[in-house]
Amino acid sequence: MTTAASSSYTAENIQVLEGLEAVRRRPGMYIGTTDKAGLHHLIKELVDNAVDEAMAGYCDRIEVIFHASGWCTVVDNGRGIPVDIQKQTGKSAVETVLTVLHAGGKFGGGGYKVSGGLHGVGASVVNALSEQMWVEVVPDPAAQGADKRGKVYRQEFAKGQPCTELTPQKLKEERPSGSTISFKPDPAIFESVEFDFKIEAERLRLYAFLTKRVWFRLFDERDGKEVNYYFEGGIKSFVRHVNHGRDALNFEPVYAEREVDGNSIEFAIQYNDGFNETVYTFANSINTIDGGSHMTGFRTALTRVLNDYARKNKILKDQDPNLTGDDVREGLVAVISVKLPEPQFEGQTKTRLGNAEVAGQVQTVVGEALSQYLEENPNDGRRIIEKCLVASRAREAARKARDLVQRKSALESGTLPGKLADCSSRDPEESEIFIVEGDSAGGSAKQGRDRKYQAILPLFGKILNVEKARPDKMLGHEAIRLVISALGTGIRETFDVSKLRYHKVIIMTDADVDGAHIRTLLLTFFFRNMPELIDGGYLYIAQPPLYRMQQGKDVRYFYNDAQLDEFKKGNKRANLNVQRFKGLGEMNAEQLWETTMKPDNRVLLQVGVHDAADADSLFYELMGDEVSHRRRFIQSNAANVKNLDI
């Protein structure tokens, strides 16, 4: 209903944001977030452009430099951004690329056959979100004309706006062709403008795996750190990297790279003696974490070829059922990378490839190459098939155990062993579950919680290390069954996030070595069996305090030694009574609520995975069968431990 007092709503109320103003007003629409991930997304946009040059065959060296002044520079030795006038804008192509959204050589103009940065917003978005930026281009005379020889073109910008014209100067010394872009992120936009060396190093290493024979260098002027990546074998080297430290069933990865109807298909696979499947798929160097047509084609070919080989060589008898897709993927490490002139991604996030024709192309390439490898390496073939058969038998046992767990799910049963104290809310978005170590802590948590939206699941005894256990053994472990039943999602291939009963799953253990061990065992379980829980941002770690300080009526809690020491430096008064909590059970219900469970006060750490390959290797090293791997890790990282609680 409208009234006379209603405010007017006319064309004057419609605001049009010109140029890059929209990017500065709504940065999250273009880079996702304005936290550290968003900050590093700026670098990614520029590196993507350099990688496009590399994939086109015009660039073999890409550098990222962090400067002490807060600037970041990205350098490539490609053809250089075109410096001539762009007819539609009347400006130089350099200025157009850096100031106009959806401008670039990736829209059918013949600039690139294959490209990852399809939207053409990258460089202009970086410019818009930078306090200052400058670009220098040394044109390749063969690509841009002989009249550009011996010249460097420079232009400066501030917050997306040109400060100077694109000006040519004579090169004072010989310099390879290419583009150099240096930017200083705007602190008014980002929560922090401090670049993270580790995040960028991991990303550049992945680029190096995916674009073989291209040199990537990261240098940090702030402390002198430097890494260089170059992989002659590309994704073949990637597979070896993921399998490092594991016992491989086929010593040499199965590898092929072929072009089919203009699309480049590349894959590498290697089996190990573990129980987990590790498969990465990429399209135009973009990590398609939700798979797509290339994943479908790969899986179809793998299952078909291994069954055909097993039948042909009488390893599978006539009466034996075929191996399933799950059977043939146990212990598999694989990378599938496709490069397409016209990729079709599902969604703005580009996490799933939709090109239907790619499934058949990948199936053909993988099928032919894998069949040839097995024929030429019969010993490897037999080892792989025998492992698949063992996996098949174990999977059948696991299916029976899983069915039992699901029949006793928390959705269908009023009570559960383990004393799950459920919340009254049935809205998953507002509900949270605390997975608590021990009986006494569980009791305090049940008494202190908000019963409307907080559920408590106490766990007793030792948690199974799932890195060392097959699925059937894992599903026979009581604590693991309780967790699966309480969450309601199922695991692995049966996981269904729509059935998740709590959108905050919070691990709450003691703040000591034993608590850390239990936390690591639970994280291993979630990473291996419910990775979608981590990817969706549903998994958290509670941070209980280590100390309670009382001074008269003043009571404070401190979560680590550094906080307590800092308080003591600024507070010289006497009668400080400091209590150190050895475990959650030492806190009464009120204390546990106020410090660790109350949303207004608590500190929760959200569990995430920056580099899945590194995480996979780390869990294997720390939690696998090989004691030598753990010893090596401890020896390598012991110097980084500042304070060990024993």
Catalytically annotated residues? 437, 510, 512, 514
Q: Which of 221, 239, 219 is nearest to 229 (CA)?
A: 219
Q: What residues contact 173, with CB distance under 8 A and at least 6 apart?
A: none
CA dist., res. 201 & res. 224, Å (int):
14
Are 545 and 559 in contact by the 8 Å Cβ rule? The answer is: yes
Cross-sheet strand order for the sheet of 504-508? 454-459, 432-437, 504-508, 539-542, 604-606
Helices (H), 456-544: 471-475, 478-487, 513-529, 531-535
Q: Which residues pair with 409 in a beta bridge?
A: none
Dihedral sign for Cα atoms in the order 23, 24, 27, 31: positive
Are 135 and 155 in contact by the 8 Å Cβ rule? The answer is: yes
Residue count of the chain, please give it: 646
Please identify which residue in the block is written with the tokens 């106490």: 458
- With residue 254 as reference, give the H or E element that holds it: strand 254-260
Are 343 and 118 in contact by the 8 Å Cβ rule? The answer is: yes
CA dist., res. 117 & res. 285, Å (int):
10
CA dist., res. 552 & res. 575, Å (int):
8
260 phi, psi to nearest 5 deg: -130, 115
For 191-223, give the DSSP string.
S-----HHHHHHHHHHHHHHSTT-EEEEEETTT
- With residue 589 as reference, give the H or E element that holds it: helix 589-592
3-state secondary structure of 618: helix
**What region, left, alpha or beta, does residue 64 occupy, with left being phi > 0 and alpha being psi -120 to 50 degrees?**
beta
CA dist., res. 120 & res. 100, Å (int):
9
Q: Which residues pair with 228 in a beta bridge?
A: 217
In eight-state DSSP terms, residue 594 is I
Q: Per residue, what are the HEC states of 365-415?
A: HHHHHHHHHHHHCHHHHHHHHHHHHHHHHHHHHHHHHHHHHHHCCCCCCCC
CA dist., res. 534 & res. 507, Å (int):
13
CA dist., res. 445 & res. 296, Å (int):
45
Token output for 174:
């010989």
